Structure 1
Amino acid sequence: MSWKTLDDMELAGKRVLTRVDINVPMDGDTVTDATRIERIVPTIRDIRAAGGSPVLLAHFGRPKGQPNPEMSLSRLVPALEAAFDALVTFVERPSRDWIDAQAADAIILVENTRFTAMEEANDPQMAQFLASLGDIYCNDAFSAAHRAHASTAGVAHLLPACAGRLMQAELSALEAALSNPKRPVGAVVGGAKVSTKLDLLQNLVQKLDVLIIGGGMANTFLAAQGARLGASLQEADLHDTARDILDAAKAAGCTVILPTDGRVAREFAAQAPHEVLPLGPETQLEADQMVLDAGDDTAKAVEDAIAGLATLIWNGPLGAFEIPPFDTATVAAAKSAAAQTTSGNLITVAGGGDTVAALNQAGVADDFTYISTAGGAFLEWMEGKDLPGVAALMQ
């Protein structure tokens, strides 16, 4: 796979139209988590160091194609200035003449791209307008790369285009994890429902050596094999699909690891009374019993499997990690993966909101090789789908 980076572009004296993701959580006018802003700092710094001027394009919230003062990017100027240690000039209705009148190294922030319906429609007129504002297009918003919008795809076809530092890191990490991985390669896929990750599972079993399934998803697979799991979360209408995925994995030579035991409780609450019980096709739980986490034998099997891998992709927890002690298996597996990574034996790439939260809870997020904050784009990449924002950089 080949895409240009900032290193391939002549940036001196150029206005660099830079698509970023600064869709950060806020409480009033205070940014409560600046991670997404912090992650674009290297791109902004490198553009300015090379003599260019970043013109930032971004969306914020879901304004549904209409201006909405509560979703104005002007509210983010103080947080951006703090992160960049530089002035940020906000503009509601830019023109090229106005932009060219600004300082040669100015950081310019254009109002929310989604304040018009033309953005999400990838309207050619809007793409042409955006292209008129810059000399080079730089996409640093992998998290929006699965959207074919004017600011993520349309404009990229109209200007010399490249990936920013965050996009570059994301694409390199994902390519190393799935497109051209060191083998054996495995994945932990967890979370509540099979239905949200059908395409993902069907793609992964064709590419992996080991697939570890956890969380509520695992219940559906166990129930499909005959287990009666009481009040456990599972999707009865997907039993045939679960069996098909297991058959496809077998045909492709992918080993699937399902829980062989679980932490079982009668209420979904922190520190609920629970017991560790064996799980398998013969399991017969009582009507009010719920499997809320993988058990100790399963956690050990997962750790052993991870120890045999060269590359691990992680998406989703192994249990109801938000409520102790049902975070036990997730934390144990995460610490094992982190230890293998820091010792140089394993490449680990993780993504998805619950995943990041779980790894933070385990205290190991900084030990993974790469953690994606991209959410939907990360999932669609793992599903094997083409991402319009990435495809546009491959011209």
Structure 2
Amino acid sequence: MPFLKMTDLDLSGKKVFIREDFNVPIKNGEIQNDARLQAALETIQLALAKGAAVILGSHLGRPAEGKFDPELTLAPVASWLTKHLRQNVELLHDYLHGVSVAPGQVVLLENLRFNVGEKKCYDALSKQLGELADVFVMDAFGTAHRAQASTYGVAKFAPIACGGPLLVREIENIERSLSNAQHPIVAIVGGSKVSSKLALLDALIEKVDTLIVGGGIANTFLAATGARVGKSLHEPDLISVCHEILEKAHRLNTLIPMPIDVGTAEHFDEHAECVFKDIIDTTRDDMILDVGPKTAKNYAKLIQQSKTVIWNGPIGVFEFAHFTQGTEKLAQTIAGADAFSIAGGGDTIAAIDQFNVHDGISYITTGGGAFLEYMEGKKLPAIAILESRFADSNKI
């Protein structure tokens, strides 16, 4: 990776501003899932071990800029950090004109999106953030696709800008599933709309051996093959696009297997009964909400034969009790496969939680949108600015 890394720097006695992604679900002041916090601990602890005075920053939710929102305070995160770092982590509300922190100590800046100009990356705010410390560390992969003041702008003005261990680890693992992957590669892309993942599908068919589509995406592909999808969620205006993707996959010898049986219901309802049908037997009144057991078995066989698995999105409405079997079979197969597996995205992580397969997944990325954009081959702004700073330093 052509950018400076925190692991290579002498941080003794220096103020270090680490941008993390602490955008975690909080209900009634209690953190519901601390996976992102756990992922960031290594970076924080390493900075402390190197003798740094640590300033942490993150956003939480989507507050109105310039206004304090008690529902989106990082106070619960400060409490979590205090417990896990075994030292008091003070939450700072007034920090743009300087932060007082000693080597070995940690402070947390209140929600960075409370600041006017954060999302639009105002230079004035970026400069203030850049002047808080001697070293800026971008460690929030989950926000690396956003060119905001605390992810991109700050790196322009900080004396030194580098990538943190978590950011580096994310990139290394994604590259292991793409550029440095062992074949056969199976990618699973689920979700409601082809339109939201069109770029990803187009990119993956050039890199993988098998592309499994699920959910509403699969329904649109089924319609492109001439199958009846009835009242199922699909995008009629993208049927021709799916047909083109299928043709391109055929030219590239990339397999896109279609469901041969499906789980159907008369209505989209969590209490609806699941009726399994062969795809040729679906009617105009059916809603396809899951794959059938024969399809799940076929997909499992493809995964078991793979060396690399990329998973983004469920293949059915797994939130409904009667339509979990397809995604559950998929999750369990990935977890038990003799392959390197990487998974990302909110619904994917929810499925991993629901079916308790964490230990079987090789790497669970902290990024959602950033994961997708990196997989699509896009240059993420927060990484691009680190590379630019590194290139400029080498010219001196």
TM class, shorter-length: over 0.9
CA displacement, residues 262-316 of structure 1 (integer Å, 9 cap, x when unaligned): 112223344633332222xxx3633321111111121111111112211110011
Among 353, 357, 361, the alignment partner of 1:364 is: 357
Conservation of the 8 A alpha-carbon contact between 2:18 and 2:56: yes
Conservation of the 8 A alpha-carbon contact between 2:96 and 2:129: no
Conservation of the 8 A alpha-carbon contact between 2:232 and 2:289: yes
What does residue 302 of structure 1 align with? 299
Conservation of the 8 A alpha-carbon contact between 1:119 and 1:151: yes
Q: CA deviation at 1:189?
A: 0.8
Q: CA deviation at 1:325?
A: 2.8
What does residue 86 of structure 1 align with? 87
Conservation of the 8 A alpha-carbon contact between 1:294 and 1:319: yes
Q: CA deviation at 1:107?
A: 0.6
Q: Does 1:324 align with 2:321?
A: yes
Unaligned runs of 5+ in 2: 391-396
What does residue 187 of structure 1 align with? 187
Letter in 2 for 1:42: E
Letter in 2 for 1:332: K
Conservation of the 8 A alpha-carbon contact between 2:229 and 2:287: yes
Letter in 1 for 2:351: A
Q: SS where residue 212 of structure 1 aligns?
A: strand
Conservation of the 8 A alpha-carbon contact between 2:31 and 2:76: no
What does residue 287 of structure 1 align with? 284
Q: 1:151 to 1:97 in 2, by over 3 A?
A: closer
CA displacement, residues 220-249 of structure 1 (integer Å, 9 cap, x when unaligned): 111112112221111111101110111121
Letter in 2 for 1:127: S
Q: Distance in 2 between matches of 1:90 and 1:333?
A: 42
Q: Does 1:204 align with 2:223?
A: no
Q: CA deviation at 1:63?
A: 1.9
Q: CA deviation at 1:251?
A: 2.0
Conservation of the 8 A alpha-carbon contact between 2:290 and 2:326: yes
Letter in 2 for 1:233: L
Q: Distance in 2 between matches of 1:119 and 1:163?
A: 20
Q: 1:38 to 1:285 in 2, by over 3 A?
A: same
Matches for 1:243-282 after TM superposition, within 5 Å: 243-270=243-270, 272-279=272-279
Unaligned runs of 5+ in 1: none
Conservation of the 8 A alpha-carbon contact between 1:187 and 1:208: yes
Q: 1:123 to 1:314 in 2, by over 3 A?
A: same
Q: Distance in 1 between matches of 2:25 and 2:351?
A: 19
What does residue 119 of structure 1 align with? 118
CA displacement, residues 169-223 of structure 1 (integer Å, 9 cap, x when unaligned): 2111111112321122120111221121111111111111110111121111111
Q: 1:372 to 1:98 in 2, by over 3 A?
A: closer
What does residue 156 of structure 2 align with? 157
Could you tell which deviates more after superposition, 229-238 or 26-35? 26-35
Q: CA deviation at 1:146?
A: 0.4
**Identity score, percent:** 39
Matches for 1:70-81 after TM superposition, within 5 Å: 70=70, 71-81=72-82
Q: TM-score, normalised by structure 1?
A: 0.92
Q: Distance in 2 between matches of 1:69 and 1:361?
A: 31
Q: CA deviation at 1:98?
A: 4.5
Conservation of the 8 A alpha-carbon contact between 1:266 and 1:274: no
Conservation of the 8 A alpha-carbon contact between 2:273 and 2:322: no
Q: Distance in 1 between matches of 2:330 and 2:61?
A: 34
Q: How many residues align?
A: 386
What does residue 310 of structure 2 align with? 313
Q: Distance in 1 between matches of 2:95 and 2:229?
A: 59
Q: SS where residue 36 of structure 2 aligns?
A: helix
What does residue 215 of structure 1 align with? 215
Q: 1:110 to 1:271 in 2, by over 3 A?
A: closer
Conservation of the 8 A alpha-carbon contact between 2:97 and 2:128: no
Q: Distance in 2 between matches of 1:97 and 1:327?
A: 51
Q: Distance in 1 between matches of 2:69 and 2:322?
A: 43
Q: SS where residue 325 of structure 1 aligns?
A: helix
Q: 1:43 to 1:181 in 2, by over 3 A?
A: same
Conservation of the 8 A alpha-carbon contact between 1:217 and 1:234: yes
Q: Distance in 2 between matches of 1:348 and 1:97?
A: 43
Q: SS where residue 188 of structure 1 aligns?
A: strand
Letter in 2 for 1:299: A
Compute the RMSD of aligned alpha carbons: 1.8
